[in-house]
Amino acid sequence: MHESTTIWIIITQSVAAGAAAGLCVLHTVWRDDDNQRPHNRWTLLWSITLAVVFLFDALTGATPAGPTHHALSIIAATALAAAILLALPVAQTFSDGPPYRWHLITATTLFTAHILLLATGTITDRGELRDGTTHTLLDITTFLVPAAIVGTYLTSTILRTPRRRTRTALLASAALAVTLLVLSYVLPGPDLRAALTSAWLIPLVVGLEILALRRIRHGQHAAELQSSMRDAQARISNLAWYVKDPHALLRRAEDEARTLLDDASVSGTIRTLSRGRFVTELAPAGRNVADPTERKFLFALANIVSSAAERHALADRLSRAAYTDALTGLPNRPSLEQHLVNALERANVERSRVAVLYADLDGFKRANDQYGHAWGDHLLVLAASHLRKTVGSDVMVARIGGDEFVVVIERAGTDADLVALATKVRHEFQSATTTRSVPRISLGITTWEPGTQIDPDALLRCADTAMLEAKRKKAGVVLFDQNLESRVAAEARLRREIDEAVDQGDFCVHFQPIVDTTTLQVLGLEALARWEDNGTLRAPADWLTYAEDSGLIVSIGNMTFRQAFAATERFDLPVAVNISARQFAEPSFLEDITDAWGERAWEMLTIEITESALLHDSLQTASILEQLREKGARIALDDFGTGYNSLARLASLPIDILKIDQSFVRDILTVPGHAVLQAVVALATAHGLEVVAEGVERVDELEALVALGVTKAQGNMLGRPAAAVPLR
């Protein structure tokens, strides 16, 4: 052991080395929790260096004079210089001090010179020259001067510390360290100087280490706070999926913020913007949030509340869109179906009646086309409002498509009450507006009785059928009853039979001759579709209307065309074919008839079309008829006088033949009837139209037609429709 070093100095240095090593362990642990802060790395490195300083000071003091003692003293001096130099970045990171580049370069140069003097033996570890002179100018220059440079930087940096208590503590520690260092050079006695030389760093070390530990602990606390903030955000995010009230969710966010920030004044507001957007603000009252972590936390909570409010608002809009009619605001078909099922189930338990009213606007399409879609939308909104007002707010009213509305009445009254309610709905709608004429409402009523089968679809179909019957009979209101049910069943059965007959080829063509009124010679044929049902012909009046409504008339008409075309070759006579309005409206009509006729002479074909078909789309119809006439086909206007055309329109119609309806032929022997036919024949002759009289049943009718100049006629007296052509 060095003779001038006492045992207690060695023990003190060893304890200080252990304390510094312990601080290194703490720094390492806390650095893992907060390794993003740069001062943690510098503090850890500085603590390691201080531990080395105290350790090698203790080893140097415990080692006798010699090479080992000399080497240990060099290491201790080097570590001490490094510790002093590391105080520069440590202080700079803690207090945001000025740049220390030139301080570091100057101090490093002088410390290096001090270590070189110590290594070459020019001075000893106690600052003595070989001749025993103490604290030479070299020693002061190479150690005290760089230490003073570092101390000056530390003082200026400490003064930048914003906290007054921290600044005072650091200045006191630095002043004590400087005092001890100066005393180590001034006081007599090698043991005391050695003790002060080893102890002068302790106040500064303690001050800076306490500050570092406080900073690390603050970082650890900040990390824990951030973790708690993330947990709070996760809790609010989870709640956002269940709490649909944005204000309730905001209150929960306020509670989380108040607890974590320890500020009871934190409060929030939520405002609704356009297009379903929301903005939420969350902040303490009376102060601005300076901490960026707190600002970020409050902003995150506010953003969660806003996003949740927007998400729930969007979900509500989508739900309303899925179950609500966008135009009228009424429930739509899916909502009606769900409500009707629930209503029937409740009524089955309560043993009460359920009524369904099916409403439809008469002539809505015509009004929509005449006045525009805006007026049509206005009518629908008007009808919806009228229905809700008339039936009551506690009754389900739904729009299921187009101009169709359905009313579901639970605990319904008697049939008379329901008819009275429907009649009120129909009559009072007329006075809903005075700007333009309003279509009337036709309503069908059906009821469900307890104990019967629960079938919502069947209930709607029955109400729809009653409504269609009200339109057909122009009655306005019809109650679905047993008679209507039987008729509907018969129509459904007839539809199935027609469908099967078309598939099985039971429809055929009979030909009625068109004869010369004077010679009775057969001049042409009219092809008429007939239905052979098990060897018996079914009257066209029994099935023609249903074939038109179902669209099967198109298939029947195409079959009639094919057989009529074959008849021209078989009988070598022109053929006239009736075209229904439904068939004529088919987009492929012209293409189909052109392909079916092929290379035959078009002069052998006459297309008979009714006045109602001409009214369907006058421009399109005229274009198609003109194309057929250009090919050579002739156009006949069938049943003239029963439709909507006037005598004045004959000149503008693309026709060649005028067929007088049999209702006019029957009245030919009366004065008014004869006058009408005479005017028709005269006008047709003036326009160059050929006249054919239909339904000639008596000889006197034929003679009167000949007297009027009608040259062609057809009727049962002249020849009934048959598969073969009857010859006179």
CATH number for the domain that contains residue 601? 3.20.20.450
Residue 276's domain comprises 241-322
Which among 295, 293, 260 has a CA at the least distance from the CA of 281? 295
How far is the CA of 6 from the CAs of 184, 190, 265, in angstroms?
16, 10, 62
Most confident of the following: 92-101, 185-194, 203-212, 213-222: 92-101
Interatomic CA distance for residues 500 and 495, integer angstroms: 9
Beta strands in 596-686 (DSSP E): 605-610, 634-640, 657-660
In a domain, 226, yes or no: no
Q: With contact defined as beta carbons under 8 Å apart, do 81 and 114 qualify?
A: yes
Please check whether residues 582 and 694 belong to one and the same domain. Answer: yes
Please check whether residues 396 and 355 belong to one and the same domain. Answer: yes
Count CB atoms within 10 A of the CB of residue 471: 17
Confidence of residue 424 (pLDDT cuts 50, 70, 90): very high
Count Cβ atoms within 10 A of the Cβ of residue 102 and give its class: 0-12 exposed, 13-18 middle, 19 or more buried: exposed
Please check whether residues 431 and 505 belong to one and the same domain. Answer: no
- Number of structural domains found in the chain: 4
In a domain, 508, yes or no: yes
Residue owning tokens 């075209």: 579
Tokens of residue 147, six digits: 């230490």
Any idea what the CATH number is for the domain that residue 188 is in? 1.20.1070
Please check whether residues 476 and 501 belong to one and the same domain. Answer: no
pLDDT of res. 179: 74
Please check whether residues 115 and 13 belong to one and the same domain. Answer: yes
In a domain, 485, yes or no: no
Q: With contact defined as beta carbons under 8 Å apart, do 612 and 643 qualify?
A: yes
Confidence of residue 344 (pLDDT cuts 50, 70, 90): very high
In the chain, the amino acid numbered 419 is: V
Q: With contact defined as beta carbons under 8 Å apart, do 405 and 387 qualify?
A: yes
Q: Which residues are CB-neighbours of 547 under 8 A, at least 6 positions away? A: 498, 553, 556
Tokens of residue 368, six digits: 């929509």
pLDDT of res. 411: 92
Please check whether residues 284 and 371 belong to one and the same domain. Answer: no
Average pLDDT, the chain: 80
Which among 105, 117, 118 has a CA at the least distance from the CA of 56? 118
Indicate if the pLDDT at residue 574 is higher than 70: yes
In a domain, 225, yes or no: no
Count Cβ atoms within 10 A of the Cβ of residue 401 and give its class: 0-12 exposed, 13-18 middle, 19 or more buried: exposed
How far is the CA of 381 from the CAs of 17, 327, 329, in angstroms?
90, 7, 9
* pLDDT one-digit tens code per residue, 168-207: 776 677 777 777 666 666 665 555 555 565 566 667 666 6
In a domain, 721, yes or no: no
Quick one: how many helices (H) and strands (E) in the chain? 26, 16
Nearest-10 Cα torsion for 249, 255, 261, 267: 70
Interatomic CA distance for residues 437 and 373, integer angstroms: 15
Please check whether residues 318 and 337 belong to one and the same domain. Answer: no
Of the residues 191, 220, 249, the one at which a domain ends: 220
Interatomic CA distance for residues 341 and 647, integer angstroms: 57
In a domain, 269, yes or no: yes
Residue owning tokens 């509907």: 488
In a domain, 230, yes or no: no
Running DSSP on this structure, what letter comes out for residue 539? Answer: P
Of the residues 186, 220, 254, the one at which a domain ends: 220
pLDDT of res. 100: 80
Please check whether residues 542 and 687 belong to one and the same domain. Answer: yes
Please check whether residues 664 and 603 belong to one and the same domain. Answer: yes
Interatomic CA distance for residues 455 and 480, integer angstroms: 16
In the chain, the amino acid numbered 379 is: L
Q: With contact defined as beta carbons under 8 Å apart, do 525 and 512 qualify?
A: yes
Which helix (H) or strand (E) covers residue 359, if one does?
strand 354-361
pLDDT of res. 2: 44
Please check whether residues 187 and 315 belong to one and the same domain. Answer: no
Q: Which residues are CB-neighbours of 368 under 8 A, at least 6 positions away? A: 375, 376, 379
Please check whether residues 590 and 505 belong to one and the same domain. Answer: yes
Please check whether residues 417 and 354 belong to one and the same domain. Answer: yes
Nearest-10 Cα torsion for 602, 606, 612, 618: 30
Which among 405, 410, 392 has a CA at the least distance from the CA of 339? 410
Interatomic CA distance for residues 87 and 43, integer angstroms: 9
In a domain, 689, yes or no: yes
pLDDT of res. 9: 62
Count Cβ atoms within 10 A of the Cβ of residue 20 and give its class: 0-12 exposed, 13-18 middle, 19 or more buried: buried
Of the residues 220, 252, 285, the one at which a domain ends: 220
Which helix (H) or strand (E) covers residue 612, if one does?
helix 611-616
Helices (H), 201-282: 201-240, 246-261
Q: Which residue has the higher pLDDT, 274 or 425?
A: 425
pLDDT of res. 651: 67
* pLDDT one-digit tens code per residue, 17-66: 666 666 666 666 655 544 445 556 777 777 777 777 777 777 776 777 77
Confidence of residue 443 (pLDDT cuts 50, 70, 90): very high
